Structure 1
């Protein structure tokens, strides 16, 4: 039987579920703290897991673009090497500036 690790990024306090996620070390200069934590405003574990995974995915996308934009600032040609074909031209220009 395979065991899978499920990281739900949640913890419970006084019956309310919270989201908690560490900020990646290379992006910490953009944040005041090294951890993002806030209430998911639910007592339901099912709702908390869904909200937490949705929020984690949004953070991953945000952090990916923040990291990519920092790389583009130093080398605009990195867009060609990343293989990202669905980046709109306006975004590529904005990220390169």
Structure 2
């Protein structure tokens, strides 16, 4: 069995904020035990809403018709053993 694959998604607009600091600690911990870690910083990426075409319902391997930066993330999500979402909480909401 190969190393575990972890995807970390940073959702805060602050690159060095509390969410990013915690996500970096999770990444360091996962790497320290041999995991392969991919980190995606969403702020500034071109991510468009779903068109509800339902192509992904037919097969999770089908490519999304929306051509945005998620095309770089989808393959990593499909292969991931673990997903970490680091999102800030502002005024008790996400």
Common fold: TM-score over 0.5: no
The structure in which a higher percent of residues are helix is 1
- TM-score interval w.r.t. the shorter chain? under 0.3
